[in-house]
Structure 1
Amino acid sequence: MSKNGIRYTDEFKQQIVDLYNSGSSVACLSSEYGVATVTIYKWIKQLSPVKVTGNEELTAKDYQSMKKRIAELEIENEILKKGYRHIRKKTIKEVVAFIENYKSKYPVKLICKALKFPRSTYYKALVNIPSKRQLEMAKLKAEIKQIWTESKSRYGAPKIHNILTSRGIKVSLKRVQRYMSAMDIKSIVVKKFRYHSEKVTSDDKENILNRDFKTISINQKWCTDITYIYTIKNGWTYLASVMDFHSKKIIGYAYGTSMTAKLAVKAVKNACMNVSDTKGIILHSDLGTQYTSRLFEDYLSSKEIIHSFSRKGNPYDNACIESFHSILKKEEVNHHRYFDFNVARKAIFEYIESWYNRKRIHGAINYMTPQAAHEAA
């Protein structure tokens, strides 16, 4: 348990350490995942492997020198990444526009060096000064492109318009749509959930929720489900997720190579980790064997959680969690071919913990992020 009282799974801790060892800074990880830096350092000390080869030693001076060089390379690499992202045809106009956009963040000399672009050419191009309207249009387009890029192509015009408005930028939705069309950028399409009527029910499995998704706070109504994720090496793998209806936050999940009741229970256990009193919480699921198993029912009983079931053949009863898994597929899984279980696990961890919970705004909760909605409850 951390100083702020929040518990973290062993998988969560290891993923943070793996990301640190992959190059992410502690400050960045703290900001991305909402974990105190002192806690991350503690995890690194506990979980990071230490390798010693032969009699080689690294002095403090060598370390600082290496650190300085890495920092320089990171800046150059950052400039190159931004450059390749925004400069398509590598024309002088595009390069100059890129320098103008980022010269407040990086020295012009450093940008030109990284892009191998003559400074004399840049200063010569500045003679042709664009109009105020052109500058405003270019700035707005850059803002739109940045928001779209940071969302990994997941945001469409409505969400981008909402973010621009929240930043104090006065612009119409139609203008955002027009600029996105001109830049040939659009959101990843998420198919709407379709309801198929089915009146078949199980006599001993009651639908307590009965599509009443309304709540006044968190930890009143939860929903859970399992979805499939394919990997090249390990074949089908399975993700069990638990969502809080009030905040739309994924409060617990478990990922494994077998679709078992044990996996379903682990997801709920993780959801219960930061809840002091689970008595009376309604947990809604479908009629899958994992959720009707004795192991699953016994765990819910031990936590005094009330189990609600979807009617047979009626996925709309559990639409919220079904919708989340659909979004996960449309925004992340369907755009990658994961080599094995570990590669997929890292991608799922980053999507849920860094993107979906903490960054992705949700229309059903007034364009807040699930994490913000959870904390505000």
Structure 2
Amino acid sequence: MDGKRYPKAGCTDNGTKIKILKANQHRYAVAALCRCLGISRHYAYYQCKTTKRKSIAHYADKILTIFKRSYQSYGSRRIRFALQQASISVSRRYIARVMKSLSLVSKYTIKRYRGYQTASNSSVTANHLQRKFDVGSKQQIIVADLTYIRVNHCWNYLCVLLNLSNRQIAGYSVGQHKTADLVMCALSQIKQPLSSLHLFYSDRGKEFDNQLLDKCFNTFNIQRSLSKKGCPYDNAVAKATFKSIKTEFVKGEKFMTTEE
């Protein structure tokens, strides 16, 4: 039809047709060869691709090492990124096949928990941050939040203060009660002068609604910022930090005391 001469399909075996296609794909278009041989392009491309697939054992040791080094938390995405850092280029599908063959399952799960409604801070303080988490190094903004950890069949609470400029934990405290004293204890651990802080951002939990905190912020001229009620996305950086902490270091561990 297009003036070219194509090889004739004188066989009915698909395996032989694929061999003919591979032998002639450097001379003719794959679409034209598929029409001549009477096979679909999807089947032809798949068969050509499967012959080039790496064996499971090719990078299995490296993938296993990265997985163990990540406290069994890395999935195919993060393992692929780690391999790219080592100048090894493989697909996520290959990594997933290797992980499946080695029975490697990331700690991260898709479980969801429904929380219960509690009293919240009804202050008229606005959300000055507005989810602008990339603040650079000029502004010193502290993001605060609390989470719970099971200790000897009881809940203990972890308060973390995160510095948005470098995404490092500036202070933290652990206690058996979810109170403003827990927040003050974490605030006292910040090594830099409190007068250098520009903004203190948190959700509307009652533990952040306290006269002692307000007096501290007024003394050091720190602006307050509160998220919208019932909107965890406004405090996404803190939630992501807790996800990493609880998945990689808390999950599977049994703590008997608060000190542990």
Same fold (TM over 0.5): yes
Match of 1:37 in 2: none
1:184 is displaced (CA, Å) by: 1.6
Distance 1:256-1:278 versus aligned 2 partners, 3 A rule? same
Q: Determine the structure 2 residue equivalent to 1:329.
A: 246
CA contact (8 A) 2:140 2:196 kept: no
Higher relative contact order (CA 8 A, sep 6+): 2
- 1:300 match: 217
Residue in 1 aligned with 2:65? 146
1:121-150 deviation per Cα after TM superposition (whole angstroms, max 9, x unaligned): xxxxxxxxxxxxxxx964621111011011
8 Å CA contact retained: 2:162, 2:170: yes
2:102 is equivalent to residue 189 of structure 1: no
Change (3 A) 1:163 1:284: same
Name the structure 2 match of 1:204: 124
Q: Are residues 1:166 and 2:85 paired?
A: yes
Asked if 1 retains the 8 angstrom alpha-carbon contact of 2:121 and 2:204, the reply is no
State the SS of the aligned residue for 1:250: strand
Q: What is aligned with 1:227?
A: 147
> What do residues 13-65 of structure 1 show as CA deviations (whole Å, max 9, x unaligned)?
xxxxxxxxxxxxxxxxxxxxxxxxxxxxxxxxxxxxxxxxxxxxxxxxxxxxx
* Counterparts of 1:203 and 1:232, CA distance in 2: 36
* Residue in structure 2 matched with residue 214 of structure 1 by the alignment: 134
Which of the two has greater strand per residue? 2
Change (3 A) 1:171 1:315: closer
Contact conserved, 2:145 with 2:202, CA < 8 A, in 1? yes
Match of 2:184 among 246, 265, 272: 265
Query: Structure 1: any 5+ residue segments left out of the alignment?
Result: 1-135, 195-199, 344-377
How far apart in 2 are the matches of 1:250 and 1:279? 16
CA RMSD between the two structures:
2.8
| SS across alignment from 2:144 | strand
Of structures 1 and 2, the larger Rg is shown by 2
Unaligned 5+ segments in structure 2 are 1-54, 114-119
In the alignment, is the contact (CA less than 8 A) between 1:211 and 1:317 conserved in 2? yes
Report the CA distance shift for 1:301/1:190 in structure 2 as closer, same or farther (over 3 A): farther
Deviation at 1:333, TM superposition (A): 2.4
Q: Does the 8 Å contact 2:159/2:186 carry over to 1?
A: yes
AA aligned opposite 1:222: I
**Which residue of the partner structure matches residue 10 of structure 2?**
none
Q: Is the 8 A contact 1:193 1:319 kept in 2?
A: no
| Separation of aligned partners in 2, 1:308 and 1:215 | 15
Is this contact kept in 2: 1:201–1:311, CA < 8 A? Answer: no
Residue 281 (structure 1) aligned with residue 201 (structure 2): no
Identity of aligned residues (%): 27
What residue in structure 1 maps to residue 17 of structure 2? none
CA contact (8 A) 2:142 2:197 kept: no
Q: Which amino acid counterpart does residue 124 of structure 2 have in structure 1?
A: D
Q: Does 1:248 align with 2:173?
A: no
CA offsets 1:249-270 (integer angstroms, 9 cap, x no match):
2221111222221210121222
Aligned pair in 2 of structure 1 residues 219, 257: CA closer, same or farther (>3 Å)? farther
Structure 2 match to 1:353: none
Question: Cα deviations across residues 310-350 of structure 1 (Å, max 9, x unaligned)?
Answer: 1222222112212322332333323222122222xxxxxxx
Partner of 1:315: 232
Q: Specify which of 87, 98, 110 is matched with residue 179 of structure 1.
A: 98
1:339 matched to which residue of 2?
256
- Retained in 2: the 8 A contact 1:219–1:278? no
Query: Do 1:282 and 1:306's aligned partners in 2 also have CA atoms closer than 8 Å?
Result: yes
For the residues of structure 1 that align with 2:87 and 2:232, how far apart are their CA atoms? 40
